[in-house]
Structure formats: structure tokens, C-alpha cells
Structure 1
Amino acid sequence: MMRIFLFLATNMAILVIASITLKLLGVDRFTGQNYGSLLVFCAVFGFAGSIISLLLSKWMAKMGTRTQVITQPQTRHEQWLLQTVEQLSREAGIKMPEVGIFPDHAANAFATGWNRNDALVAVSQGLLERFSPDEVRAVLAHEIGHVANGDMVTLALIQGVVNTFVMFFARIFGNFVDKAILKNEDGHGPGFWIATLFAEVVLGILASIIVMWFSRRREFRADEAGAQLAGTAAMIGALQRLKAEQGLPVHMPDSLTAFGINSAKKSGFAQLFMTHPPLDDRIEALRQRSR
């Protein structure tokens, strides 16, 4: 319920800002038949949310997970962590990202940032405490793979496209209900806004399935990159350890679960909304690759 409320509140806030912007640009006076102006209208605030989220992703990640960035290593483990990320980054051909640790007993890690040369890679305290050095290195290689593949930007662009068409078709539906069914000829009446918001919720849920499918594809690619950087056996071993600990709760914020290496296991219809494929599928994909 809270997620739907935030979706609607954010959508309305962006709508107000976009309406003012488009009025200044002179493209705010669209009708149900002026699909070009309507598409521009939807694209402006459809991409606005995803781009803003991308630009703020590092800050949001640090605040949401209470990640402490390592600037001056205080322990031998922190020194090893920095050296390992630096080596993996060099091999992947990207700039050294910021490295941090977040206080979570569950084994997890994530990478985020608005481009491949300005990223953040962080691991949980639990992962560092219980995983072997080779397994931690494989997890870090997986996250470096996300950065090198530009997955953060790709996912933001996909989300922007999806947002645009959700809002586009929702407004066509709202205009149809307002004009054809309610016979309102005086601007946009209450029927337009109610029908539009209803359509956005329904289409938004369906669109999330598409975005989550792309997210799961990303994980296979990042696993392959991790196997290339750290070795296939090490990557499989790390995923097997994650599977063994899958019963532990995952404390990643909803906005960051797509960037973590591990997420809560789901079943049935909920699998369509998983950001990550089942660990068994990821392990089998790596085994097939090694053959």
C-alpha cells in the first residue's frame, strides 16, 4: 500500500513540475488526438524520475543502507577490500569506485552510481565475516561486472521508457473515458483524472514485470563478468554460499534490491516481480558456461 501511495504521490508531483515546464515550452495544450505532444509530455516526466534517481543513486544507497565509505583503511580487512576492488576495477577497465561496508548481518552486496567511472561498491558486514576471501572476491567481481556493463544506466533508461508509455496509454484511456463515455467536452473532468490514475496503477504493475525481467537478465551477465574476473569456480562457490544463507532476512531497501547480489526468495506469481533469478538457475548457467 505504501509503495502505491508513493508511486501516485511522486507521479502527481512530477506532473505538476512537468506541466509548468511544458507550459513554458508551449506544448502543454494537447488533446486526445494530438499524440505527438502527449508523448513529449509523458516522456519529460516519465524519464525525469528515473534520471533523478540515477543521479542520486549513490547518495540514496549510502543513506538507505548506512554504508560507511572507506577513505582511510583502519583494519587489515579494509585494506584488503580496497586493494581487491582496485585490482578488479583495473582488470575490468573502469575507474576505481568508492568502496564501503554496510551494517547488515545477512550476506549481501550492491553496486550503484550514475556512470561506470563514478560508482559505489559496498558489501555487508555479514558477508565479510562469514565468507572466505575467494568468495568475497567473487562477489566483488560480480558487482564490478554490473558497473563495467553500465547496468545502472541501462536499467534507468528502461524504466524511463516504461514510465513514458505507461503514462502515455493511461492518459489516452483517461481521455477516452472522459470524452467517449462521460461525454465531457469541457477540458479534463474528474473522470479523466480518476481513469488515468487507475490505468497508471494497472499498467505500472504490468510494466514492472518487464523491468524485472530485464533486471534478471542483468544478473546473468554480471555473474559471467564475475566468473571472468574471479574465476568460474569462485563465482559458483559464492552463489552456493548465498544459497545456503537464503533463509536469513534481507534488509535492503526496496529501491536498492535490484542492485544487490542477493534478494529474498519468492514463489508463484511473485516470481515475475523478482529482481534476481533463482540462485539455482544462476549456478546452472555458470556451470553450462564452463562446459
Structure 2
Amino acid sequence: MNTFRTGILLAAMTALFMGLGYLIGGGAGMAFAFMLAAGMNLFAYWNSDKMVLRMYNAQPVDERTAPEYVRLVRRLAENAGIPMPATYIVDTPQPNAFATGRNPDHAAVAATRGLIEMLTPEELAGVMAHEIGHIRNRDTLTMTITATIAGAVSMLANFALFFGGNRNAGGIIGTLALAILAPMAAGLVQMAISRTREYSADQAGAEISGHPMWLASALEKIENYAHRSRNDYAEANPATAHMFIINPLSGEGRDSLFSTHPATANRVTALKKLAQEINRANGRPWG
């Protein structure tokens, strides 16, 4: 269901972008919008992981520099049946993590210094299993595409605002409305896709680690501490906030229309329900 919903939302995002091109320049505008989207997505496909890791000054680590962390990621990748992703650490006290890369063969996971220092080994396993779940589900590519199209929508909307649009599509009033509403609509679709993929990665991470409550405990701890320390890298690159396991920018925990992440309480509830189902299936009492 989550995959189907993501497909519908991606289709809506693409339709919005193509429609915006048509309203600006008719058939020629739609063709331009298509070529622009194709070019931007091709660039993002090949370079998004490098760009994001540079944004956060993420440093690569191996078994010599961070043995327990790297071995943990390797074990979880084996559980997930994917190649070992490159492992990075971001030097910030805010506890958080993200995954990036165009596919499981070209992927990376990054944990912040604060995350590694604060969580227990079990909780860290729950978080990194979630990020590996994103890689296995190919969410990193999905979110790159949606972020790229959302950025292109904003760019086209600004073009329409300054240079005018197709007079047959509403004139100046229609152009102004389009320039204001289209980026908002694209942002809402992007956020909806992000929230959908977080729930799917939570479930995948629980499956990969075998212990849903490890992730549930980690989410509660991260939520309590994440917004007490500033993530300067995220503040400088707010468009990447959707990549993290917990929103690095805001302390708002509501599952609202404008949130890039589901409410942590809702995610924990879903994980507890999954843990109960696993315990029942294994003949163990809940506790």
C-alpha cells in the first residue's frame, strides 16, 4: 500500500510539473519542462550522494577508525541482503542519521557523532537498520527525484512570476496564482512521500534488526534530545531535512500536513504493534 501511494504521489508531482510547463508556455513549455526534469534527475541520479555527503562534511570511516559502528552496519546489510554501504560519521552533537545513494550498489549511511555516543548498541542497530531499510526500498532514489522535481517546480514558478505565462491559461492573475500555489503543492506532495517512506523504512528496519522495540526506544530518545542541540549543517541545507530519521530542523512532533516526518509517537505506536505481532507469531507473551 505504501509503495502504491508513493507511486500515486510521484505521478501527481510529475503531472504538476508538466502542467506548470504547459501553463507557462503551452506545448513548447511542456516539452521544456520535460527536458528540464530529465536533465535535473539525471544529474541528481549520478551525483546526489556525493553532494549530500559534502554538505554535511561527512567523513568516511572503516573498521580501523570506527570498528563497532562499521561492523554493525555490515551485519545489518547482510541481514537485509544488500551490499555493504559506505559508512560515514557527521561531526555534530545532534543525534540523527540518514542514507543516500542511487541504488543498493551505490549507497552510503551516515550517523552523527551524537547518535553514536548517546544510543545503546541495540538502539543504534535499530536506527541503522531503518537507514538500510531505506536503501533496500530504494527510497534514497525516490526522495532524490521528488526533491529535484520540487526544486524544478519552484524554478519554473519563479520564471512564470518574472516573465509571465501563457495568456490562454489565465493571464497575469493565473500566472501569479500559479507562481504562488505550485511550489506549495509540490512541497506538500514531497512531504507526503517522505512521511510514507518513513513508515515503510521503520517496518523494514524492524524486520532487518529483528527487534522493533530497539528502533522504538531509539526514536523516543532521539526525539527528546535532537532539538536541544543545533545541527548547523542541516540549518544551512533545510531542503535535505526529509533525509534524516528525525527532522533535524524543528521540534514540532505533530503529524501535520506540513511536516516532513510522521509524528514520533505514531511511529512508536506502529512499532509496538509490530513487536506484539512478532511475539504472538513466535509464541512469546508481550513485554
Output the TM-score relative to the length of structure 2: 0.74
- Root-mean-square deviation (CA, aligned residues, Å) is 3.2
What whole-Å deviation, never above 9, does each CA across 1:254-278 have from its counterpart, x for those lacking one?
Answer: 132111111123378x943322111
Residues of 2 paired with 1:206 and 1:146: CA distance?
25
Tell me whether 1:136 sits opposite 2:124 in the alignment.
yes
Q: Which runs of 5+ in 1 are unaligned?
A: 1-29, 182-190
| Structure 1, 31-40 or 111-120: larger mean CA deviation | 31-40
Matched, 1:39 2:40: no
Note the residue ranges of structure 2 that are not aligned, 5 or more in a row. Answer: 1-20, 277-287
Distance 1:150 1:53 in 2: 14
Residue of structure 2 equivalent to 1:272: 257
Distance 1:221 1:236 in 2: 14
Report the AA paired with residue 36 of structure 2: F
Q: Which amino acid aligns with 1:229?
A: I
Task: Work out the CA distance in 1 between the residues paired with 2:22 and 2:138.
Answer: 38
Of residues 184, 188, 195, the one that matches 1:205 is 184
In the TM superposition, residue 82 of structure 1 has moved relative to its aligned partner by 1.1
Which amino acid in the other structure matches residue 85 of structure 1?
V
CA distance in 2, matches of 1:200, 1:117: 39
Q: Tell me the number of residue pairs that the alignment of Structure 1 and Structure 2 aligns.
A: 245
Contact 1:212 1:273 in 2 (8 A): yes
Classify 1:281/1:43 alpha carbon distance in 2 versus 1 (closer, same or farther; 3 Å): same
Distance 2:24 2:194 in 1: 35
CA distance in 2, matches of 1:124, 1:33: 43
- Confirm or deny that 1:48 pairs with 2:33: no
Equivalent in 151, 167, 180 of residue 176 of structure 1: 167
Which deviates more from structure 2 when the two are superposed, residues 61-70 or residues 103-112?
61-70
Alignment partners' CA distance in 1, 2:239 and 2:131: 17
| Greater CA drift, 205-214 or 35-44 | 35-44
Cα 1:142–1:32 shift into 2, 3 Å: closer
Q: 2:221 aligns with which of 231, 235, 241?
A: 241
Contact in 2 for aligned 1:47/1:163 (Cα 8 Å)? no
Per-residue CA deviations over 1:16-66 (Å, capped at 9, x if unaligned) read xxxxxxxxxxxxxx9979855432221111343344234222222222111
Point out the structure with max Rg over C-alpha: 1
Structure 1 CA distance, aligned partners of 2:22 and 2:201? 44
Out of 259, 262, 272, which is 2:243 matched to?
259
**CA displacement at 1:216 relative to structure 2:** 0.5
Q: Is the 8 A contact 2:97 2:127 kept in 1?
A: yes
Q: Secondary structure at the match of 2:166?
A: helix
Deviation sequence 1:110-160 (CA, Å, 0-9, x none): 100122211110100011111111111111101000100000212233456
Q: For 1:160-209, what per-residue CA distance to the aligned partner results, in whole angstroms no more than 9, with x for missing partners? A: 666777759x96x81127x875xxxxxxxxx6xx9757733431122110
TM-score, with structure 1 as normaliser? 0.73
Distance in 2 separating the partners of 1:229 and 1:136? 13
Residue in structure 2 matched with residue 149 of structure 1 by the alignment:
137
What is the CA-CA distance between 1:211 and the residue it aligns to? Answer: 0.9
Question: What does residue 268 of structure 2 align with?
Answer: 283
Instruction: Percent identity, please.
Output: 27
By relative contact order (CA 8 Å, sep 6+), the higher-ranking structure is 2
Alpha-carbon offset, residue 242 of structure 1:
1.3
CA contact (8 A) 1:67 1:122 kept: yes
